[in-house]
Amino acid sequence: MEPRNHTDVSELLLLGLTEDPELQPLLFRLFLSMYLVTILGNLLVILAFSSDPHLHTPMYFFISNLSLADVGLSTTTIPKMLVNIQAQNQHISYSGCIAPIGIVMFFGGCESCLLAAMAYDHYMAICHSLRYMVITNCRLCVLLILLSLLLSTGVALILSLMVSRLSFCKDMELPHFFCELPQVIKLACSDTLVNYILIYFATGLCAGVPVSGKIFSYAQIMSSILRIPSAEGKLKAFSTCGSHLCIVSLFYGTVFGVYISSVVTDSSRKRTVASVMYIALPQMMNPFIYSLRSRDMKGALRKFIGRIPTLCDYATYCGIRFLELGKPKEPRVCHSA
C-alpha cells in the first residue's frame, strides 16, 4: 500500500462503537441523554456561580471554569457522533478530523490544569488558612486560568500541526467514534517518531506536572489533617476536599483505564468503548458531585431555579410590550360637539 500526501486525503471513515444496526438507536438515545444531562448540569453550575455573590470564591471560580471545559469537551465529540448515527453516515472530512484533535487536547489540558489549581486552592485553605485570603486573591486565580489556557493552547496547536504534516495511506478507516490523536497517528504511513515524542512530552507537561502538584498538595493536606486534635475538625477539613478528590479520581481513573485497556487488549473496539469513560462520563458526573456535596452550591441552585418562573414572566412581559410597540397606531377620531 503506497502512501500518499495528506492533501490527497479527502475524508476518513469513523467505524464508531458498533456496526450492528439494531444497537444504533439505543446508542443514539443513550449518548443524547448523556450529552443533554452534561450540558444542563454544567450550565446550571455556571449560572449559579454567576448569579450568587456568595459563590464568588476561588474554589467556585475554578469549578465554573471546569464546567466550561466539560461543556467544550463534550460538544466537540458527542454531537458529531449523534449526527453520524442518525444520518447513517460515518464519513468525516480530513479537516473535520484534524480540528477536533486540537480542541480535545485543549479542553483536556485545561481540565487537568484546573484540577491542579483546585488542589492548590484546597492546600492553601487547609494548610495556610490564616494567609488564604491574602494569597489566593482574584489576581492569582485569573493568572492560574490564563496559564492553563496558554499551556493547553500551545500543546494543542503543536500536536495538531504535527499531525497535519503526516502522510497517510489509502485505507483511512478509524476504529473510533471521534478523531483520537493516537488512533489517527496509527493510520500514517510516514515516520511518526517525532509525533510520539511530542505526545509523551505533552502528556508529561499537561498531566505529569499537574498530577505531581496534586500529590504534593494532598500529601501536605493529609499531614495537616492528621495534626488536627478533634475528630470533628478532621472530618470538616476532609469534607472540604472530598468533592475534588472524587473528580480527580474519576478523571484520571478513566484516563488510566483507557491506557491499561490499550495495553492489555489488542481489540480496537474495546479501546473505543473504554474511551467513552473519559470523554463522556466525568463531564456528566462533575456537576452532580459538586452539587450534592456542597451546601452553598445546592442553596445557589435552589435560588436560581426558584427565579426561573419570575425570569420567564418578565421575558414574556417584555416580549408583549415589544410586540405592542411594533403595532401601527390607530388614527384618533375627533368627535365634534
Give the CATH number, domain containing residue 23. Answer: 1.20.1070.10
Tell me whether residue 38 is in a domain: yes
Residue 39 scores a pLDDT above 90: yes
Question: pLDDT tens across 187-244, in order?
Answer: 788 788 888 888 888 888 888 888 888 888 888 888 888 887 877 777 777 776 777 7
| Single-letter amino acid code for the residue at 323 | L
Tell me whether residue 336 is in a domain: no
Structural domains in the chain (count):
1
Tell me whether residue 332 is in a domain: no
Can you read off the three cell numbers belonging to residue 86?
442518525
The answer to whether the beta carbons of residues 125 and 225 sit under 8 Å apart is no
Rounded mean pLDDT of 101-124? 89
pLDDT value at residue 143: 93
Which pTM does this prediction carry? 0.80
Residue 27 scores a pLDDT above 80: yes
Tell me whether residue 331 is in a domain: no
Tell me whether residue 171 is in a domain: yes
Q: Which domain holds residue 289?
A: 4-326
The least confident of 75-89, 130-144, 224-238 is: 224-238
Tell me whether residue 252 is in a domain: yes
Question: pLDDT tens across 47-61, in order?
Answer: 888 887 877 888 889
Tell me whether residue 79 is in a domain: yes
Tell me whether residue 84 is in a domain: yes
